[in-house]
Amino acid sequence: MIKLKTPEEIECMRRSGGILRDCLLFLEERVKPGMTTKRLDELAYEYITRHDCKPSFLGYGGFPGTICASIDEVVVHGFPSERRLKEGEILSIDCGLIFKGWQADAARTVAIGETSEEKLKLIEVTRQSFFEGVKQFKEGGRLGDISNAIQTYCESRGYGVVRSMVGHGIGREMHEDPSVPNYGRAGHGVRLERGLVLAIEPMINLGTWETVGTGWDCLTKDKKPSAHYENTVALTSRGAEILTL
Ligand code: MG
Ligand code: MG
């Protein structure tokens, strides 16, 4: 069941979203070659708890971290570890928090030091596809309009759109209805209404869209890199408002 949010509830989510936006900026400024993803995870935990929030990933379904740290061919759900980041890798940092009962969820993919042109392009296409999706997040439209815009933008450029993971509604719970696939048919799916809040999150591969993995692992089938970009977005009287940017 979809839970539409009142303007007052969206105001609360705007606050959680603002803290998460700042947390991700804080992490992006600090990530560098040689750093372990465990250290980055500690920084995220400290930041979130210092701002009177709770990390929403920690313990969720047994997840061991505050962030998901997914390197190169890892699509999402990478566990923070003692593994050191290497120059040239790309890292997706996915993070969620709860402030006064309201969730925010967002992800960024960053290059570790200098990286290849093709990885930089992958990061940029993934990010831009999110904005192509948001352009379709408007009253009277259908969920499939968002999905289709993301898919079309990426596939027309030769990238693979992950099918095994999707975006979601968000509110008091991290994962609410509806599911928000990054592929689909325009004009189909639930009607987009004021008060709908979605985590829109393209997961885009340099090569095939296919993924492999069981349990937490989600890797590209061809071991080529994958990028992730996510924000929590509310549909208000002023249109789509990105709460985590
Ligand atoms: Mg996320
Ligand atoms: Mg999400």
7-242 maps to which CATH number? 3.90.230.10
In tens digits, what is the pLDDT along the chain, a chain of 245 residues?
Answer: 999 999 999 999 999 999 999 999 999 999 999 999 999 999 999 999 999 999 999 999 999 999 999 999 999 999 999 999 999 999 999 999 999 999 999 999 999 999 999 999 999 999 999 999 999 999 999 999 999 999 999 999 999 999 999 999 999 999 999 999 999 999 999 999 999 999 999 999 999 999 999 788 899 999 999 999 999 999 999 999 999 99
Residues 188, 186: Cα–Cα separation, whole Å? 6
Q: Which residues place a Cβ less than 5 A from the ion ligand 1?
A: 94, 105, 107, 230
- For residue 241, the SS3 value is strand
Rounded to the nearest whole angstrom, what is the distance from the C-alpha of residue 107 to the centroid of ligand 1? Answer: 5
* Cα 13 to averaged position of ligand 2 atoms, centre (Å): 15
CB-based burial of residue 89 (10 Å sphere; 0-12 exposed, 13-18 middle, 19+ buried)? middle
Alpha helices in 136-230 (DSSP H): 143-155
| Dist. CA 77 → ligand 2 center (Å) | 11
- Asked whether the beta carbons of 130 and 231 are under 8 A apart, the reply is yes
Amino acid present at 93:
I
Ligand 2 center from residue 149 Cα (angstroms): 18
The C-alpha atoms of residue 228 and residue 91 are separated, in whole angstroms, by 9
C-alpha 25 to ligand 1 mean position (Å): 15
Which token pair is 219?
A: 């890797």
Domain range list for the chain:
7-242
SS3 149: helix
Global confidence as pTM = 0.98
Ligand 2 centre from 174 Cα, in Å? 7
pLDDT reported for residue 197: 98
